[in-house]
A and B are shown apart, each in its own frame.
Chain A
Amino acid sequence: MSATKDVLVFIEQRHGIIQSVSLELLGIGATLATKLESNLIAVVIGNQVIDLAKEVGSYGAKRVYVVDDPMLETYVNETYTKALTAVIRETNPDVALVGATALGRDLAPRVSSRLHTGLTADCTSLDIDETTNQLLMTRPAFGGNLMATIICPDHRPQMSTVRPGVMIKPEQDKTRKFDIITIDANLKPSDVNVEVLETVYETKKRIRIEDANVLVSAGRGIGSKENMKQVETLAQLLKGEVSGTRAVVDNGWLDKDRQVGQTGKTVRPDLYFALGISGAIQHISGMEESNLVIAINRNPEAPIFEVADVGIVGDVNKVLPELFKQLNHH
């Protein structure tokens, strides 16, 4: 059976809620399908998930395949691998996309292995090569130092997991026409060798600042302990942790284990957001290897601007409320 040119998106649902990365994939999937002059299709796997299929259709999938089975109530890679593989075998898509979540990055490798096709992990950009019609899958490697574009020339589907938050979610349109097709994956109890005993949801633990991907860091310029709440808020909005300079720690505004610099910790986050930090050498030495540095400081001559990718000259306590306003709007 030869492959179609269709683009298939795996819709990840947890407890009946579609994960936002899956909707983002419908966005990029539609773009790829247009370039391939083919159809965007989607697959929903779970127990009693027909209603979700309707939602998926309203986001642009032309056909929504559903594998609905009580055995798919809770995610287990054995049943989900079998279900997704069954749909891919049935539909023969050219491209299959899965969100690079803790679930997707477990499921997709097993599926690709079973189908004997390639899989490219955690892509941040997808495109179609205009001459070969191959999927160009671009991803970071070597700790983000290198970007690689991967192709899968001779095996189908071309599979990729895609980083959440990178692609743009399409607009919902409830007037869209689409088909819902159910598929029986022929699941049997003997397919399963694992048993989920308990599922626990946790609010995020405080993580060590050395391990944080995003740090929102306060300096003396933040002004008062009261203003540290704004720092906390920004950290929450950016899913990061709060850190600070020695001055802030010495003032008792922050715990010692949150101190960055010579007598504190050395950090290398993806984003270091420096608020009211002038950038004394003891501080800079602890954070200068951060990937992206954004600094807000009143003094245009502050040394922090020498290591900042984006420097804002201004009062932190005026810029932050404006930033919150726009972030919330966003």
Chain B
Amino acid sequence: MKIVVCVKQVPDTSEVRIDQKTGTMIREGVKSIINPDDLSGLEAALSIKDQNHAEVIALSMGPMQADSAMRECLAMGVDRAILVSDRVFAGADTWATSLLLSKAIAQINPDLIICGRQAIDGDTAQVGPQIAEHLSLPSVAYVGDITLENENNLVVKRTFENGYQLIRVKTPCLLTVLSEMNSPRYMRVGGIFSAFNDGLVEVWDNSNLNLQPEELGLKGSPTKVKKSYTKGVKTAGKVFDVEPKEAAKVIIEKLKESYIL
């Protein structure tokens, strides 16, 4: 079995802070990490490999700095790490990204593609299903468990807000997985040393994929960012010394304003 796991290197958004003076986002010094849902995808693929014969290939699109994320994948135990990187890819939205990744995946021709449900920087959850659509493959999203039934079928647990379905799906197929499904293994010490000494990160650029200029980057992206802004400086809190009735009103207003109600 050949498994491709799509991996994205993302800034650790839990470390991103807003500069309380300027209201801008502070990105310096924020660590780059492998997207948590993708790590669970790697773990899912590697545990299939532990129990069966499988070749696991980590695939990422990103700048050359993502090389370090690919080494992490090698240190965790993947067989190949492919970084799709080219300046002309920059600025791609989920449509263009998924098209690009689908072209790369088509060349690998796997039985199973695993994507993390969503990346913590964009939170779109779109690239996985869109890759499947570009490849005309069946897909199941929000997967919390994978069982290999036989060579041609998987049984997966597809979670919803209030429950789950057990779904049988034919291979080749694509799954998007949740980080709750497992605890990703640590890199092994020996894996880290060999990832740098004997490991190879394959870098593919557009000469490998042959996409047309109008399919690439900003130009190939139906959506554009018109503007972005931070929510601004967190205003100083307010303290209300009021009757319970008024207090409850203040609380409910705040909950509504913050989309909690």
* Known contacts A193-B138, A313-B239, A323-B252; A202/B162 CB under 8 A: yes
Stretch at the interface among B46-54, B82-90, B115-123: B115-123
Residue contact A151 to B226, C-beta cutoff 8 Å: yes
* Known contacts A117-B222, A121-B123, A293-B237; A309/B163 CB under 8 A: no
Please give, as numbers and ranges, the residues of chain B lying within 8 Å of A154 by CB-CB distance: 222
Residue contact A305 to B252, C-beta cutoff 8 Å: no
Residue contact B14 to A311, C-beta cutoff 8 Å: no
- The 8 A CB mask of B240-251 against A (1 = contact, 0 = none) is 111011011111
Interface residues on B, range: 35 or more
Majority secondary structure, A binding face: mixed
A-contacting residues, B94-152, CB 8 Å: 94-95, 98, 120-130, 132-134, 138-142
- The 8 A CB mask of B206-242 against A (1 = contact, 0 = none) is 0000000000000001111111111100110111111
From A140, which residue of chain B is reached at the shortest CB distance?
B123
A124 and B251 alpha carbons, distance in the complex (Å): 21
Please give, as numbers and ranges, the residues of chain B lying within 8 Å of A1 by CB-CB distance: none
Residue contact B239 to A194, C-beta cutoff 8 Å: no
Residue contact A106 to B142, C-beta cutoff 8 Å: yes
A154 and B254 alpha carbons, distance in the complex (Å): 38
Residue contact B166 to A294, C-beta cutoff 8 Å: no
Please give, as numbers and ranges, the residues of chain A lying within 8 Å of B222 by CB-CB distance: 116-118, 152, 154-155
Please give, as numbers and ranges, the residues of chain A lying within 8 Å of B162 by CB-CB distance: 201-202, 204
- The 8 A CB mask of A271-304 against B (1 = contact, 0 = none) is 1000000000000000000011110100010000
Minimum Cβ distance to chain B for residue A18 (Å): 15
Please give, as numbers and ranges, the residues of chain B lying within 8 Å of A194 by CB-CB distance: 138, 140, 167-170
Q: Could you count the A-B residue pairs with CB atoms below 8 Å apart for me: how many are there?
A: 242
* Known contacts A102-B160, A312-B242; A109/B123 CB under 8 A: no
Please give, as numbers and ranges, the residues of chain A lying within 8 Å of B189 by CB-CB distance: none
Residue contact A300 to B239, C-beta cutoff 8 Å: yes
Interface residues on A, range: 35 or more
Residue contact A202 to B163, C-beta cutoff 8 Å: yes
Residue contact A151 to B223, C-beta cutoff 8 Å: yes
Residue contact A322 to B244, C-beta cutoff 8 Å: yes
Residue contact A318 to B252, C-beta cutoff 8 Å: no
Contacts beyond the supplied A292-B258, A312-B240: 9 A-B pairs with Cβ under 8 Å:
A77-B140, A105-B126, A136-B226, A142-B13, A151-B226, A193-B170, A199-B165, A238-B261, A313-B241
Binding site for A on B (CB under 8 A): 11, 13-14, 16-18, 25, 93-95, 98, 120-130, 132-134, 138-142, 155, 159-170, 173, 221-231, 234-235, 237-242, 244-245, 247-252, 254-255, 258-261
